[in-house]
Amino acid sequence: MNKFIFISGGVCSSLGKGVAASSLGALLEGRGLNVRMVKCDPYINVDAGTMNPYQHGEVYVTDDGAETDLDLGNYERFTSGRLSKANSVTTGQIYKSVIEKEREGRFLGRTIQVIPHITDEIKNRIMAVAKEDPDTDVVIVEIGGTVGDIESIPFLEAARQIIHEQERGNALSVHLTLIPEIAGLELKTKPTQHSVKAMQEQGIQPDVLICRAPVMLDEATIHKIASFTNVDFNAVFVSYDVKTTIYEMPLVFYEQKLDLVVLKKMGVESRHANLKNWRKMMEHLHARQGKVRIGIVGKYMELHDAYKSIYEALFHAGLACAVEIDLVKVDSAAFEENEAESTLGKNGASPVDGILIPGGFGGRGTNGMIKAAAWARQNNVPYFGICLGMQIMVIEWARNILKWEDADSTEFTENTKHPVISLLEEQIDVTNLGGTMRLGRSESIPHEGSKIFTAYKEKNIWERHRHRYEFANKYRAEMTNSGLIIGATTADGALVESVEWPDHPWGVGVQFHPEFKSKPTAAHPLFCAFIAAVKEKILSS
Ligand code: GLN
> Along the chain (541 residues), what's the average pLDDT of each consecutive run of 10 residues?
94 90 97 95 86 85 92 95 92 96 91 95 96 94 95 97 94 97 86 96 97 94 96 97 94 97 93 93 95 93 90 97 94 82 66 94 93 94 97 98 96 94 75 77 95 95 95 95 96 94 97 97 97 91 75
Which domain CATH number covers 253? 3.40.50.300
Q: Tell me if 359 CB under 6 Å of ligand 1.
A: yes
Residue 271 and residue 297 share a domain: no
Rounded Cα gap, residues 503 and 314, in angstroms: 24
Q: Residue 194's CB: how many other CB atoms inside 10 A?
A: 16
Q: Which of 387, 396, 411, 497 is catalytic?
A: 387
Local structure of 468: helix, strand or coil: coil
Q: Is 387 a catalytic residue?
A: yes
Number of helices (H), then strands (E), in the chain: 19, 23
Q: What does the pLDDT read at residue 430?
A: 66
Q: Is 167 a catalytic residue?
A: no
Q: Tell me if 465 CB under 6 Å of ligand 1.
A: no
Q: What is the DSSP string of 472-524?
A: -GGGHHHHHHTT-EEEEEETTS-SEEEEE-TTSS-EEEESS-GGGG-BTTB--
Rounded Cα gap, residues 203 and 197, in angstroms: 10
Residue 532 and residue 432 share a domain: yes
Angle at Cα 526 formed by Cα 446 and Cα 310, nearest 5°? Answer: 130
Local structure of 359: helix, strand or coil: coil
Residues 199 and 186 sit within 8 Å (Cβ to Cβ):
no
Q: Tell me if 335 CB under 6 Å of ligand 1.
A: no
Q: Tell me which residue of 376, 412, 373 sits closest to 396, measured CA to CA.
A: 373
Q: What does the pLDDT read at residue 153?
A: 96
**Ligand 1 atom 8: residue of nearest CA:** 359
Whole-angstrom CA distances from 316 to 274, 312, 328, 515, 516 are 21, 6, 17, 10, 12
Of 242, 262, 280, which closes a domain? 280
Q: Tell me if 307 CB under 6 Å of ligand 1.
A: no
Atom of ligand 1 at shortest range from CA of 513: 9
Q: Which of 504, 513, 524, 528 is catalytic?
A: 513
Residues 475 and 420 sit within 8 Å (Cβ to Cβ):
yes
Q: Tell me if 361 CB under 6 Å of ligand 1.
A: yes
Q: Report the separation in Å between the CA atom of 410 and the middle of ligand 1, taken as the mean of its atom positions.
A: 12
Q: Tell me if 516 CB under 6 Å of ligand 1.
A: no
Residue 356 and residue 241 share a domain: no
Rounded Cα gap, residues 431 and 126, in angstroms: 32
In SS3 terms, 115-175 reads as: HHHHHHHHHHHHHHHHHHCCCCCEEEEEECCCCCCCCCHHHHHHHHHHHHHCCCCCEEEEE
Residue 272 and residue 301 share a domain: no
Atom of ligand 1 at shortest range from CA of 470: 10
Q: What is the DSSP string of 218-286?
A: PHHHHHHHHHHHT--GGGEEEEEPPSS-GGGHHHHHHHTTHHHHHHHHHTPPP-----HHHHHHHHHHH
How many residues appear in the chain?
Answer: 541
Of 280, 302, 326, which closes a domain? 280
Residue 423 and residue 309 share a domain: yes
Rounded Cα gap, residues 320 and 322, in angstroms: 6
Q: Report the separation in Å between the CA atom of 362 and the middle of ligand 1, taken as the mean of its atom positions.
A: 8
**Ligand 1 atom 3: residue of nearest CA:** 467
Residue 292 and residue 175 share a domain: no
Which domain CATH number covers 510? 3.40.50.880
Mutate to test the pocket of ligand 1, among 467, 496, 497, 510 (most ligand atoms within 8 A of CB): 467
Q: Tell me if 411 CB under 6 Å of ligand 1.
A: yes
Atom of ligand 1 at shortest range from CA of 469: 10
Q: Tell me if 387 CB under 6 Å of ligand 1.
A: yes
Q: Report the separation in Å between the CA atom of 58 and the middle of ligand 1, taken as the mean of its atom positions.
A: 13
Q: Report the separation in Å between the CA atom of 468 and the middle of ligand 1, taken as the mean of its atom positions.
A: 6
Q: Report the separation in Å between the CA atom of 312 and the middle of ligand 1, taken as the mean of its atom positions.
A: 20
Of 280, 307, 324, which closes a domain? 280
Residue 312 and residue 275 share a domain: no
How many folded domains does the chain comprise?
Answer: 2
Q: Report the separation in Å between the CA atom of 412 and the middle of ligand 1, taken as the mean of its atom positions.
A: 11
Residue 293 and residue 276 share a domain: no
Residue 313 and residue 237 share a domain: no
Rounded Cα gap, residues 334 and 331, in angstroms: 6
Residue 467's identity, in one-letter code, is H
Q: Report the separation in Å between the CA atom of 467 and the middle of ligand 1, taken as the mean of its atom positions.
A: 4
Residue 187 and residue 326 share a domain: no
Atom of ligand 1 at shortest range from CA of 359: 8
Atom of ligand 1 at shortest range from CA of 388: 8
Q: Is 500 a catalytic residue?
A: no
Residue 433 and residue 303 share a domain: yes
Q: Tell me if 360 CB under 6 Å of ligand 1.
A: yes
Mutate to test the pocket of ligand 1, among 58, 387, 438, 497 (most ligand atoms within 8 A of CB): 387
Q: Tell me if 299 CB under 6 Å of ligand 1.
A: no
Residue 407 and residue 328 share a domain: yes
Q: Which residues of 141-153 are buried (b: 16+ CB within 10 A; e: fewer)?
A: bbbbbbbbbeebb
Q: Tell me if 467 CB under 6 Å of ligand 1.
A: yes
Q: Tell me which residue of 247, 248, 198, 257 sits closest to 222, measured CA to CA.
A: 257
Residues 6+ apart with CB under 8 A from 319: 281, 284, 285, 288, 520, 523
Whole-angstrom CA distances from 224 to 83, 187, 195, 258, 518 are 39, 12, 15, 19, 41
Q: What does the pLDDT read at residue 351?
A: 81
Atom of ligand 1 at shortest range from CA of 387: 8
Q: Tell me if 412 CB under 6 Å of ligand 1.
A: no
Q: Report the separation in Å between the CA atom of 442 and the middle of ligand 1, taken as the mean of its atom positions.
A: 16
Q: Report the separation in Å between the CA atom of 364 and the middle of ligand 1, taken as the mean of its atom positions.
A: 13
| Containing structural domain, residue 210 | 3-280
